[in-house]
Structure 1
Amino acid sequence: MQPMLATPGALPSGPEWVFEVKWDGMRLLADIADGGVRLTSRTGRDVTDNFPELSGLSILVADAVLDGEVVLLDDGIPSFAALADRMHGPVAAVRAEARPVAFMVFDILRLYGVSLLERPFGERRATLERLALHAVPTAELSPLYTDGAALLAATAQRGMEGIVAKRRDAPYRPGQRSPSWVKVTHRRSQSCLVVGWKPERTNPSRIGALLLGVPGPHAVLQYAGRVGSGLAADGVQRVLRERLDERSAILQPFARPLSRADATGARWCRPGLVVEVSHVGWTAAGRLRHPVFRGIRDDVDPTGITPQR
């Protein structure tokens, strides 16, 4: 099963809506059954061994599927960059215990073998609230609020990503981007394919910028610009080089050659590695404005990327 997704949009209002923080982390479904827990990403990838500290979810109930987001905090604020190393492979329990993640749970999809997908969100939420999530140190119930404007302002003040509005009467539609869930962010984000990289001028062994692509009309790959901000950390450099070296290529993958400024010195790679960047919009030429690298997204299907104009 794949999780239901939110649609980008303007902040809705009215008594039929409730609001919660948009957690800056990794979406997970936790399937609790037979005394154990199986964690899957947005694309259905098994990531159970990436988060061994969430095994305690098994004490909550004999059978259930929980939907939520796993986060790591930096100075009290969820940080996608801090979580990046945990997303890509198994982690030893000792390391996980040293800096545990928090699983912010916001929905329940099955309980004791009974599907809750067709139940309204308000009913699913009430069912979720009856579980003793406080008994698991690494799990928390994602708070709900009724004043969306105030929550949006508060998240902006704290430097958080944004909020999600949810209709109380909405069923759960796995794998669909539903208008019943609306995400309102302070800075837009976009999943992109890495098609190449350019080395730093002062240190050619380091990545100075990633060259990005997004699918255009008729699935033709289009250049979306380059991103250099957010790449400085040694851990980011190490993971990116490992992943990009695996995908190295000789030729650029675009139907139209890039400008000399973009192509000179570029090291090309086969598209397939997905990264997320934040930005403030698109230029008329289809380039991202002021992009900032946020992390690799192994939980995003490369064939399902859509430019969010």
Structure 2
Amino acid sequence: MTLPLVPPMLATPGRLPPAAQDERWAYETKQDGQRVMVYLPGDGNVLLRARSGEDITAAYPELRPLGGALGTTPAVLDGEVLALDERGRADFQLLQSRMGLAHAPARAARRAARVPVHLVLFDVPFLGESLMRQPYVRRRGRLEELGLAGPHWSTPGAMTGHGAEALAATREHGLEGLVCKRLDSVYEPGVRSRAWIKIRNMRAEDVIIGGWLPGKGRLTGLPGAVLVGQRAGGRLRYVGGVGTGWSEAERTELAELLRAAVSSRCPFDPVPRIPDARWVLPRLVGEVSYSTRTRAGMLRQPSWLRLRPDLTPEESAADLPEGSGSGG
């Protein structure tokens, strides 16, 4: 049969539901991968579409056997493709080596042998008929009844209630975060809904500003991003650019401080390859939040928190293990 095209329902960033409403919500681990809609027409084939709607089936050849997992029952499944590290945790940097190969099936097959992926499934908006108007709790029950567990796919559990404990567990185990889903929520294709709330675990550390990038448009004359580093082995190693998190007043204040610290020499070792970079003396300490680090020690999704005028670069607690950092 011809399956309906179902854009994925999206979660809204937010906080845990109030404690008084805790039992009205289910909690799932937030995964760090590529969102996919899985189309199983019931003839042994499988079609994977990215959030954009692009056909990415050929990028993940190890998922083809999923086409026969439900026999002749047509279905549309919602899930996320992950690449797992040696500890069994999702590693987006590993996954990036698999993404973008939908039009290069031979390369995709070679990469699959070295970096296999795993598909986690968490919803079923269509199963022989549309389930999108049914509540989440009923759809979730139907999904779990399917028993979809294979060499490259699984259906992780969801917890009803105990949201604070679930969030604490993701932090304790170094996971990306939590998705809260209201038990009575219908499936809203393509909608960023308040019925699903995502909470990302963020870390915070001190960094040393070594440069900046000029802003554009309304930010002309102000820093568009600051270039930051942390100490490692006696050197200041570049760990990323931070371009969000400021108010207009904070950005203006920072611009004045950067102009007073201008330098012709890059303080990072090794020097990162960053076009249009402006360098400063490494004497300003700030605090940033971020989600995870890449294997090279770079900060992922960094956001500015505050200046730390109470700290000198020598007093900054930020310190990378030897071997971390990137040359750009």
1:186 offset after TM fit, Å? 1.2
SS of residue paired to 2:186? coil
Q: Which residue does 2:301 correspond to in 1?
A: 278
Amino acid of the structure 1 residue aligned with 2:26: V
The aligned counterpart of 1:80 is 92
Q: For the residues of structure 2 that align with 1:175 and 1:211, how far apart are their CA atoms?
A: 35
Q: What is the match of residue 31 of structure 2? A: 23
User: Structure 2: which amino acid aligns with 1:8?
Assistant: P
Between stretches 86-95 and 115-124, larger displacement belongs to 86-95
Matches within 5 A, 1:137-176: 137-146=151-160, 147-176=162-191
TM-superposed deviation, 1:142:
2.1
Q: 1:93 to 1:105 in 2, by over 3 A?
A: same
Aligned to 2:76: 65
Tell me, yes or no, if structure 1 residue 108 matches structure 2 residue 131: no
Q: Is the 8 A contact 1:187 1:279 kept in 2?
A: no
Distance 1:47 1:170, change over 3 A: same
CA apart distance, 1:93: 2.6
Question: 1:44 and 1:266, CA in 2 relative to 1: closer, same or farther beyond 3 A?
Answer: same
Q: For 1:147-193, what per-residue CA distance to the aligned partner results, in whole angstroms no more than 9, with x for missing partners? A: 211121111112111100101100011111111101111128xxxxx
TM-score w.r.t. the length of structure 1 is 0.63
**Residues of 2 paired with 1:212 and 1:6: CA distance?**
33
Distance 2:173 2:81 in 1: 19
| Distance in 2 separating the partners of 1:43 and 1:92 | 20
1:225 maps to which residue? Answer: 225
Deviation, structure 1 residue 95? 3.1
User: Counterpart in 2 of 1:246?
Assistant: none
Count of residues in Structure 1 that have an aligned counterpart in Structure 2: 227
Which has more radius of gyration? 2
Q: Structure 1 residues 84 and 58 mapped into 2: Cα distance closer, same or farther (>3 Å)?
A: same
Looking at both structures, which has the greater relative contact order when contacts are Cα pairs under 8 Å and sequence separation is at least 6?
1
Q: Is the 8 Å Cα contact of residues 26 and 41 (structure 1) preserved in structure 2?
A: yes
- % identical aligned pairs: 38
Following superposition, the deviation at residue 30 of structure 1 comes to: 0.6
Say whether the 8 Å CA contact 1:212–1:226 is kept in structure 2: no
Q: Is the 2:29–2:177 Cα contact (8 Å) retained in structure 1? A: yes
Residue 39 of structure 1 corresponds to 48
TM-score of the superposition, structure 2-length normalised?
0.60
5+ unaligned residues in a row in structure 1: which ranges? 189-207, 230-257, 269-275, 285-289, 291-309
Counterpart for residue 255 of structure 1: none
Query: Residue type of the partner of 2:13?
Result: P
Unaligned runs of 5+ in 2: 1-5, 204-209, 230-254, 267-272, 277-298, 308-317, 319-328
Runs of 4+ displaced beyond 2 Å: 90-95, 208-217, 226-229, 258-262, 264-268, 279-284
| Coordinate RMSD, CA, aligned | 3.5
Aligned to 2:57: 48
